[in-house]
Chain A
């Protein structure tokens, strides 16, 4: 089967998966609690509660509520966020941009350092550099993100005053337009170098905190995979042909060692998004994670459902991309057979 046919088949199944996911999301959310609480004020009367229910359509039968919600998700009316005091659809892009920017930065930290350290350690198996990289990766996997994040804040924000908290300097942020929602990109597009530096500066600590744990996982995966690949016969053959060790590593071993590592990277991206919750709360990053944490604690079902649907669709799409990339990397894989 050609890759094109495989992708087309997967895309045809995708809407069915999304509808099924939406039914599960809606049902579980409604079962989990009442949707009205977030919209109530203190000491309301039952009559006032009924008015609020009518305003948000929560007095309709459940099937009607589902259809209204599902239709709204398609047309762009994602409901009113009690936490953000704004339409979900209006707030979502800004929050998403902030989280994507943080996740991308953390991903860059994790992938760059992870593949680099994993390659470095794997190529020097059982020697001191290998031991050091393994200690480093274990510490990254062992340290709770919240603890590491607070430690970074105490040292670099409060103690040394080297790093700020939050996403931006308010004045610089307000001085540029935000077409993409990614502060770094928007500042470059605006040609505002100070805003770009401000964006990177605010990204530094949270990206390190978020990416450190994932870096550890990628390091270990890359190291293990490379060690295994380096013992393959074709690598010995490459050496026997007289190729320098660097070329053997780069052209033969690492490419194949990346196959399982790429799978891990793809899965890690989803977990990175989840990890943003803690990092965003600690570093006051105005992203989806922090918004969702508030929404869950306060029962803001419109926000919760929008987020879950978004991440579900994203996960499905990312997995498709990973499968396609996997097939590209390893030509021996016959898709769908």
Chain B
């Protein structure tokens, strides 16, 4: 009897203990990942530093350096192609192409100025390498350049590379930059490459020649590995990039990492360290990794700054603005039947500029910029992101004005009746957040207004986005990053541009012809002051006739270990805007 009651008592305690563990497991808060969990002695605290030119100014901390011979970067996504003729703009493959390939000219680490790449000089007015009519660009090619396999690379390879991209003409690529601008290419001799344009384009060097699609590879390598087939990707080049750049591609361990070694035969300043790009989609793991010292730099966004600040040995770098404002589009070209069930907006709902102004005045920019962007952002004028020619702090930008929004909605006659509209966005990122801010803003203004946020997978969003017309009245995305204002204006403002045609901007602009001609004029003028004046006037016009809600422009934020030397970011380089050959550790 005694043994049985002892056993019962013990069993009871066991059950209680097990229950307690179950409750603890199910309700435990996430473990704090800030410096409080570090077991190392408190050393240098994480600092946020920004030099005058956006370069990092933190001195390296004492202590051992992990992986002293290799620079380790944690990327947030895996590339889909490493072929310059196939890579999509803004996609991870551009990062690799930036390290492995050269282009004729490049953006300097310090900003928008151009520096020679494989071309010995940057064509300009001072060296007569641009014809007077602005149609012909001559590039003197460096002698003695070889690719990673030792093949000589000269002007004929430059012509081959550009012609290859134009011939393949892959729909997923950015070849439109070349196709829309280039009339012909020539290599009259081994050290001279000549491009003739369809029409003068002041943004040609910035927006075309520096881009991944204009990267240069050896004809010999391509012809030995599949050649050029119109409309077909080259599987070998897509997975084995062989260029002339400071890094040699070694291996791609899918889901793990990509390995690069220093190009000892590089024509320019060689890299200091080998490179390893770790594929780490989970942002929490990237944060843990930089804190553990396994990663030297990580891609992050402002929402994770709080997890990193205060961590020993880690610096949060705040650079310049990214050139990809987050925007919400107004669709002026849809059939009411095509919209999601429940939408009540008429086909001409956004034709009235008062409606579009009212949406802009209703949007809570502070909530998005200070909330979702953690303060690492700012409003942006139409359509001149911070850092491009024409931008000025004096240009008008929208801020929330609920009284004015209400007045405009009343004047447009939709206040009492209200409306229901769906906004589609990619799930799980800032785009959905921007849509939710729009929802809160409008529904808080008037209960008769209803906004349905459709957060969908990226593939589903891309498919809807590729439709013409788009079957949604509104959608959220970020702009493609461009170095020149013409590209932004052409894509996102021009009534005859990409989105102008798909969204029917001509249906809504008060003066569509005026806007179109101003954009065309500015594109052919070479004087930057004249161009700037046109773009600024345009921006003022667009303030009263907006085709977008620009929720905000994000500041480049990067976390790196203190032992990284020479850290510099340039938003004009493909995201994450780093050239690893410039860095060292110690």
Interface residues of A (CB under 8 A from B): 33-34, 36-49, 51-52, 55, 82-86, 91, 94-95, 126, 128, 131, 134-135, 138-139, 142-144, 147, 150-151, 153-154, 157-161, 164-168, 170, 173-174, 281-282, 284, 286-287, 290-291, 294, 297-300
Instruction: Tell me the smallest distance from the CB of A61 to a CB of chain B, in Å.
Output: 20
Q: Which residues of A contact B569 (CB under 8 A)?
A: none
- Annotate B377-396 by CB proximity to A: 1 below 8 A, 0 otherwise: 00000000000000000000
Q: Which residues of A contact B278 (CB under 8 A)?
A: 166, 284
- B5 CB within 8 Å of chain A: no
Interface pair A154/B88, CB less than 8 Å apart: no
Complex Cα gap A298–B426 (Å): 11
Q: Which residues of B contact A170 (CB under 8 A)?
A: 253, 256-257, 259, 276
Most chain A beta carbons < 10 A, residue from B26, B292, B467? B292
Q: A144-B25, A297-B457 are in contact. Are A42 and B462 (CB under 8 A)?
A: yes
Interface pair B466/A44, CB less than 8 Å apart: yes
Interface pair B463/A37, CB less than 8 Å apart: yes
Interface pair B462/A41, CB less than 8 Å apart: yes
Interface pair A86/B254, CB less than 8 Å apart: yes
Q: Which listed residue (B38, B254, B284, B498) contacts A159, Cβ 8 A? A: B38
Known: A40-B462, A284-B256. 16 other contacts (CB 8 A): A37-B462, A37-B463, A38-B459, A39-B172, A41-B91, A45-B466, A51-B171, A86-B254, A131-B10, A139-B21, A158-B33, A158-B291, A173-B253, A284-B282, A297-B457, A300-B459
Q: Which residues of B contact A128 (CB under 8 A)?
A: 10
Q: A41-B172, A42-B88, A298-B458 are in contact. Are A160 and B21 (CB under 8 A)?
A: no
Interface pair B480/A142, CB less than 8 Å apart: no
Question: For chain B residues 211-238, which have a beta carbon within 8 Å of chain A?
Answer: 231-232, 238
Question: For chain B residues 19-42, which have a beta carbon within 8 Å of chain A?
Answer: 21-22, 25-26, 28, 30-31, 33, 37-39
Q: Which residues of B contact A84 (CB under 8 A)?
A: 78, 254-255
Q: Which listed residue (A37, A55, A131, A142) contacts B460, Cβ 8 A? A: A37
- B17 CB within 8 Å of chain A: yes
- B410 CB within 8 Å of chain A: no
Q: Which residues of A contact B231 (CB under 8 A)?
A: 51, 55
Complex Cα gap A65–B325 (Å): 40
Complex Cα gap A9–B563 (Å): 66
Q: Which listed residue (A34, A95, A153, A300) contacts B463, Cβ 8 A? A: A34
Residue in chain A with minimal CB distance to B238 = A85
Q: Which residues of B contact A150 (CB under 8 A)?
A: 30-31, 284
Interface pair A33/B251, CB less than 8 Å apart: no
Q: A82-B80, A142-B25, A143-B25 are in contact. Are A46 and B465 (CB under 8 A)?
A: no
Q: Which listed residue (B285, B291, B294) contacts A164, Cβ 8 A? A: B294
Instruction: Tell me the smallest distance from the CB of B88 to a CB of chain A, in Å.
Output: 4
A-B contact pairs, 6 of them (CB 8 A): A40-B462, A131-B14, A134-B14, A139-B18, A164-B294, A284-B279
Q: A44-B172, A44-B462 are in contact. Are A85 and B285 (CB under 8 A)?
A: no
Q: Which residues of A contact B498 (CB under 8 A)?
A: 43
Interface pair B10/A42, CB less than 8 Å apart: no
Q: Which listed residue (A91, A131, A154, A298) contacts B288, Cβ 8 A? A: A154
- B167 CB within 8 Å of chain A: no
Instruction: Tell me the smallest distance from the CB of B407 to a CB of chain A, in Å.
Output: 35
Interface pair B466/A43, CB less than 8 Å apart: yes
- B7 CB within 8 Å of chain A: yes
- B110 CB within 8 Å of chain A: no
Residue in chain B with minimal CB distance to A36 = B463
Interface pair A147/B18, CB less than 8 Å apart: no
Number of interface residues of B (CB under 8 A): 66
Interface residues of B (CB under 8 A from A): 7, 10-11, 14, 17-18, 21-22, 25-26, 28, 30-31, 33, 37-39, 78-81, 88-91, 171-173, 231-232, 238-239, 250-251, 253-257, 259, 276, 278-282, 284-285, 288-289, 291-292, 294, 457-460, 462-463, 465-468, 477, 480, 498
Complex Cα gap A289–B22 (Å): 27
Interface pair B288/A42, CB less than 8 Å apart: no
Q: Which listed residue (B79, B232, B255) contacts A95, Cβ 8 A? A: B255
Complex Cα gap A157–B293 (Å): 10
Complex Cα gap A336–B17 (Å): 46
Interface pair A138/B480, CB less than 8 Å apart: no
Q: Which residues of B contact A46 (CB under 8 A)?
A: 466-468
Instruction: Tell me the smallest distance from the CB of A172 to a CB of chain B, in Å.
Output: 12
Residue in chain B with minimal CB distance to A142 = B22
Q: Which residues of A contact B171 (CB under 8 A)?
A: 41, 44-45, 47-49, 51-52
Complex Cα gap A300–B231 (Å): 22
Complex Cα gap A160–B39 (Å): 7
Instruction: Tell me the smallest distance from the CB of B510 to a CB of chain A, in Å.
Output: 26
Interface pair B292/A174, CB less than 8 Å apart: no
Interface pair A174/B21, CB less than 8 Å apart: no
Q: Which listed residue (B282, B459, B466) contacts A282, Cβ 8 A? A: B282
Question: What 6 pairs across the A-B complex have the smallest Cβ distances?
Answer: A37-B459, A48-B171, A286-B255, A299-B459, A44-B466, A41-B88
Complex Cα gap A163–B21 (Å): 26
Q: A37-B463, A131-B14, A281-B282 are in contact. Are A158 and B37 (CB under 8 A)?
A: yes
Q: Which residues of A contact B294 (CB under 8 A)?
A: 164-165
Q: A91-B254, A138-B18 are in contact. Are A126 and B7 (CB under 8 A)?
A: yes
Complex Cα gap A51–B79 (Å): 21
Complex Cα gap A42–B498 (Å): 12
Q: Which residues of B contact A36 (CB under 8 A)?
A: 463
Complex Cα gap A281–B463 (Å): 27
Complex Cα gap A284–B295 (Å): 14
Residue in chain A with minimal CB distance to B491 = A43
Instruction: Tell me the smallest distance from the CB of A271 to a CB of chain B, in Å.
Output: 19
Interface pair A139/B276, CB less than 8 Å apart: no
Interface pair A135/B462, CB less than 8 Å apart: no
Instruction: Tell me the smallest distance from the CB of B327 to a CB of chain A, in Å.
Output: 12
Complex Cα gap A166–B292 (Å): 13
Instruction: Tell me the smallest distance from the CB of B172 to a CB of chain A, in Å.
Output: 4
Q: Which residues of B contact A134 (CB under 8 A)?
A: 14, 18
Interface pair B468/A33, CB less than 8 Å apart: no
Residue in chain A with minimal CB distance to B478 = A42
Complex Cα gap A41–B480 (Å): 12
Interface pair B462/A174, CB less than 8 Å apart: no
Complex Cα gap A134–B14 (Å): 8
Q: Which residues of A contact B289 (CB under 8 A)?
A: 165
Complex Cα gap A294–B282 (Å): 11
Interface pair A85/B78, CB less than 8 Å apart: yes
Complex Cα gap A25–B28 (Å): 38
Instruction: Tell me the smallest distance from the CB of B574 to a CB of chain A, in Å.
Output: 14
Complex Cα gap A135–B11 (Å): 10
Interface pair A286/B253, CB less than 8 Å apart: yes
Q: Which residues of B contact A173 (CB under 8 A)?
A: 253
Interface pair B18/A157, CB less than 8 Å apart: no
Instruction: Tell me the smallest distance from the CB of A299 to a CB of chain B, in Å.
Output: 4
